[in-house]
Structure 1
Amino acid sequence: MIIVVSPAKNLDYETPLPTNKYSQPELLEESKILADICKTLTPLDLSNLMKISDKLAGLNAARFTEWQPNFNLENARQAIYAFNGDVYTGLDAYTLSDRDIDYAQNNLRILSGLYGLLKPLDLMQAYRLEMGTKLENPRGKNLYDFWGDIITQELNKSIASQQSNTLINLASNEYFKSVKKNSLSASIVTPEFRDWKNGQFKMISFFAKKARGLMARFIIQNKISNVADLKLFDAEGYTFNPALSTADKPVFTRKLD
């Protein structure tokens, strides 16, 4: 199966890398178009566009100014070790075995506003450009217009190469909107994670993000190929809840003491 996750806003370019293995993003020519647009924007433009602080805007203006598409381990970092948010806390890539990373390279894909679609070991230079950003570009008024069918086509290539018929969607709504579901050559399964709060099970963003990473890790470590086996997921107290689940939306719940 193919797994998709969202990127993270926070980045880590400091922690020592556990491997020198890397690959190059498939869509760098597209990324360069976006980066060149962003290079023309001032820090104030970026602050207004992304709704970020002046400090963050200045940092990302500098990142775009320095961005160039010749990636190596001196100026870039593998995506799975560069992203540093809640999903990646759950995934905990630094503790995955070499065999697990090889599996992830074949089966895990990271959606990205700037890079479109990344394999775990694809090098990337630091950036911030969320998929929901309303950045005017030659193809439209936002990044969904820009990427169009491109991300879906790349996913279909991955699906074909792995002879898979299932895509496990562990991405946020913002990012999965970049995938044209009707054009995808696989069935989509979207696990949900809910915690007990105020007398009912609710999706709590912080916990759900980490749980998506935990689920990705579970699939990678166990080399899951059968959707039914997702029900065995039990990390950090989550268990499969058949009463709340459907075939394409398995729900995992927990009660925190």
Structure 2
Amino acid sequence: MLLVLSPAKSLDFDSPVPTGKFTQPGYLDDSAKLIETLRQKSPEDLSQLMHISAKLGELNFQRNLNWQIPFDTSNARQAIYAFTGDVYLGLDARALNQKDMAYAQNHVRILSGLYGLLRPLDLMQPYRLEMGTSLQHDNNSNLYQFWGSRLSEGLNQAMAGHKSRTLLNLASNEYFRAVDKKVLDADIISPVFRDYKNGQYKIISFFAKKARGMMAAHVIKNRIDSPAGICEFDMAGYRYSAKDSTATAPVFLRKQA
């Protein structure tokens, strides 16, 4: 079983990382092509393209200029320690031991607009390029067209030898759209997390993102490699609800945060 996560906009390239181990991203040549396209854009262009503030436009303009190959620990850091959004708050990578991280390296992939697919220990340099960005490159009008079927092919390759050809989708809709379902050779399971509010259970974005990270930690720490193990998730008050679930969309409910 393989699980996929979205990246995060917020990054940490300052605090120490707990390991010196790292790997190199598998699509760096493609990333370099996208960077060359981004370098042709001014800070104002980037602000308009990605709907971000002028300050963030300038920050990412400088990031694009500074981006360079080769990657090493002096100019890049492991992806799982670089992302710091809600999902990664739930995942809490620094609580994973060495064996956990080795398991994660083989069972976790992070979808990325710039890097395509990242393993947890793949090095990355700071960037801002969401998968839904309408960045034109060659004959491609957006990143979905740019990546095409290659991400699904990469996921298929990552699942070679796994006990269960199941893809656990813990990514957002924006990022999972980049996975070509016709090419993917796996059953897809997409968990749903709902919190009780105002008399009903509903998806609350912040809590759902954090829960996806906690689900990832559950899979990693318990070495879950089958769909049945997913339903055992019970962290932070969430419980599997059989009556609300389907085989491809298990539902987890929580009465109070």
User: TM-score by structure 1 length?
Assistant: 0.98
Cα deviation digits, residues 39-69 of structure 1 (max 9, x gap):
1100000000000001111000000001112
Residue 159 of structure 1 contacts residue 185 of structure 1 at CA under 8 Å; is this kept in 2?
no
Could you tell me which residue of structure 2 aligns to residue 250 of structure 1?
Answer: 250
Could you tell me which residue of structure 2 aligns to residue 69 of structure 1?
Answer: 69
SS in 1 for 2:231: helix
* 1:23 corresponds to 2:20: no
Cα deviation digits, residues 77-125 of structure 1 (max 9, x gap):
0000000100000000011010000000000000000000000000000
Residue 90 of structure 1 contacts residue 212 of structure 1 at CA under 8 Å; is this kept in 2?
yes
Cα 1:214–1:221, aligned 2, differ >3 Å: closer, same or farther? same
* 1:13 corresponds to 2:19: no
Q: CA deviation at 1:6?
A: 0.2
Could you tell me which residue of structure 2 aligns to residue 185 of structure 1?
Answer: 185
CA distance in 2, matches of 1:161, 1:43: 45
Residue 149 of structure 2 contacts residue 179 of structure 2 at CA under 8 Å; is this kept in 1?
yes
CA distance in 1, matches of 2:118, 2:255: 34
Count of aligned pairs between the two proteins = 257
Could you tell me which residue of structure 2 aligns to residue 211 of structure 1?
Answer: 211
Residue 196 of structure 1 contacts residue 253 of structure 1 at CA under 8 Å; is this kept in 2?
yes
SS in 2 for 1:90: helix
Residue 170 of structure 1 contacts residue 212 of structure 1 at CA under 8 Å; is this kept in 2?
yes
User: TM-score by structure 2 length?
Assistant: 0.98
SS in 2 for 1:196: strand
Residue 193 of structure 2 contacts residue 208 of structure 2 at CA under 8 Å; is this kept in 1?
yes
Residue 2 of structure 2 contacts residue 166 of structure 2 at CA under 8 Å; is this kept in 1?
yes
Could you tell me which residue of structure 1 aligns to residue 115 of structure 2?
Answer: 115
CA distance in 2, matches of 1:111, 1:80: 12
Cα deviation digits, residues 151-204 of structure 1 (max 9, x gap):
111111101143541010000000000001121111000011000112211111
Q: CA RMSD in A?
A: 0.9
Residue 113 of structure 2 contacts residue 130 of structure 2 at CA under 8 Å; is this kept in 1?
yes
Q: Percent identity?
A: 55
